[in-house]
């Protein structure tokens, strides 16, 4: 996906995609407040290092915790300094990355970018979240409008919505083992909540199927997926850990899919 730009309290902020995740330009965010020395000051803060380290431990299996501990122990010393490049190279971090050339700068996963927004200004953070969510809503609407309805019609019987189809569409309640696993990305967290499996598990189970797990989704599932993205963003900012968010998202997916299925059944039976 190409870069997108949002305007946050008068500042143009670039959003790009990496590994199917949204990354926001910290370089653009800081321009309204000064130069990148603000970013370096944020990075050398002990609370920042702890936040980055915990995020990496949750989502990055290759993260180097010993290097993280070394940085955390040095934080607060007058001689201590930390740059994005130094943090990335020492710890194999994935939450922040530096991009060279035109349109380059320091980018961070949206979770981290929102945290940096708090450092800059609580007001700026709220504007950032609002504009980011507006962009995601617009993208979801565009995806829905461009969806191939003919493929959906071929998969779903529009005359009779049988119980078997209902069982296929409505997500199952996650078992205890699934509910405590920390998944590698927020995308997979949503996949498990709605489809009951990660993208990799779907590919393993469907080796001959083209595309990915979301390409095979029904229109109803895509609508619910868009809603889950918005809800997950709110839960993240409330500080809920991934396992708790997963359970809430799964419950929401079940409720919303059941409502959409029932609504579709009434409409289809009334329009033979």
Asked if the structure places residue 140 within a domain, the reply is no
Asked if the structure places residue 10 within a domain, the reply is yes
Whether residue 99 sits in one domain with residue 191 = no
Whether residue 178 sits in one domain with residue 87 = no
Chain centroid to Cα 108, Å, comes to 12
Can you name the residues that pair with 8 across neighbouring β-strands? 11
Which of 121, 155, 178 corresponds to the end of one domain? Answer: 121
Whether residue 8 sits in one domain with residue 100 = yes
| pLDDT value of position 70 | 92
Q: Dig out the tokens for 128 from the structure.
A: 């950032």
Whether residue 171 sits in one domain with residue 249 = yes
Gap between the Cα atoms of 246 and 230, Å rounded: 14
Higher pLDDT, 153 or 19: 19
Asked if the structure places residue 134 within a domain, the reply is no
| pLDDT value of position 269 | 41
What mean pLDDT value characterizes the chain? 82
Which domain, by its residues, includes 16? Answer: 4-121
Give residue-wise pLDDT tens across range 203-243. Answer: 999 988 888 888 888 888 888 888 888 888 888 888 888 88
Asked if the structure places residue 110 within a domain, the reply is yes
Q: Are 180 and 189 in contact (CB under 8 A)?
A: no
Q: What is the mean pLDDT of residues 94-122?
A: 90
Whether residue 152 sits in one domain with residue 117 = no
Whether residue 109 sits in one domain with residue 13 = yes
Number of domains in the chain: 2
Residue 272, pLDDT > 60, answer no
Asked if the structure places residue 165 within a domain, the reply is yes
| pLDDT value of position 160 | 34
Number of neighbouring beta carbons within 10 Å of residue 166: 15
Whether residue 106 sits in one domain with residue 36 = yes
Higher pLDDT, 97 or 261: 97
Higher pLDDT, 243 or 64: 64
Residue 265, pLDDT > 70, answer no
Q: What is the mean pLDDT of residues 259-272?
A: 58
Whether residue 110 sits in one domain with residue 186 = no
Q: What is the mean pLDDT of residues 119-132?
A: 93
Gap between the Cα atoms of 211 and 208, Å rounded: 10
- Rounded to 5 degrees, what are φ and ψ at 193? -60, -40
Q: What is the mean pLDDT of residues 82-91?
A: 92
Q: Are 130 and 138 in contact (CB under 8 A)?
A: no
| pLDDT value of position 146 | 54
**Among 8-12, 102-106, 250-254, which is the least confidently predicted range?**
102-106
Q: Are 56 and 93 in contact (CB under 8 A)?
A: yes
Q: Are 96 and 63 in contact (CB under 8 A)?
A: no
Asked if the structure places residue 224 within a domain, the reply is yes
Asked if the structure places residue 127 within a domain, the reply is no
Gap between the Cα atoms of 271 and 196, Å rounded: 32
Whether residue 110 sits in one domain with residue 42 = yes
Asked if the structure places residue 154 within a domain, the reply is yes
Whether residue 175 sits in one domain with residue 91 = no
End-to-end CA distance of the chain: 40
Q: Are 21 and 185 in contact (CB under 8 A)?
A: yes
């Amino acid at each position: 996906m190409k870069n997108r730009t949002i305007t946050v309290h008068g500042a143009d902020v670039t959003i790009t995609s990496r590994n199917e995740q949204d990354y926001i330009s910290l370089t653009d965010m800081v321009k309204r407040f000064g130069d990148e020395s603000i970013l370096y000051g944020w990075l050398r803060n002990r609370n920042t290092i702890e936040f980055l380290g915990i995020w990496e431990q949750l989502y990055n299996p290759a993260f180097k915790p010993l290097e993280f501990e070394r940085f955390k122990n040095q934080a607060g010393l007058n001689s201590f300094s930390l740059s994005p490049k130094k943090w990335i190279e020492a710890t194999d971090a994935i939450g922040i990355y530096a991009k060279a050339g035109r349109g380059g700068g320091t980018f961070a996963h949206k979770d981290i970018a929102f945290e940096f927004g708090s450092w800059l200004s609580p007001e700026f953070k709220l504007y950032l979240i609002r504009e980011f969510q507006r962009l995601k809503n617009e993208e979801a609407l565009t995806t829905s409008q461009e969806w191939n309805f003919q493929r959906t019609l071929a998969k779903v019987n529009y005359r009779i919505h049988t119980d078997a189809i209902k069982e296929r569409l409505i997500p199952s309640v996650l078992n205890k083992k699934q509910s405590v696993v920390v998944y590698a990305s927020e995308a997979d967290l949503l996949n498990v909540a709605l489809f009951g499996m990660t993208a990799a598990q779907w590919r393993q189970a469907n080796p001959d199927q083209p595309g990915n797990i979301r390409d095979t989704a029904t229109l109803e599932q895509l609508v619910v997926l868009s809603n889950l993205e918005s809800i997950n963003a709110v839960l993240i900012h409330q500080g809920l850990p991934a396992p708790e968010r997963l359970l809430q998202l799964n419950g929401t997916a079940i409720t919303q899919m059941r409502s959409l299925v029932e609504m579709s059944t009434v409409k289809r039976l009334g329009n033979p």
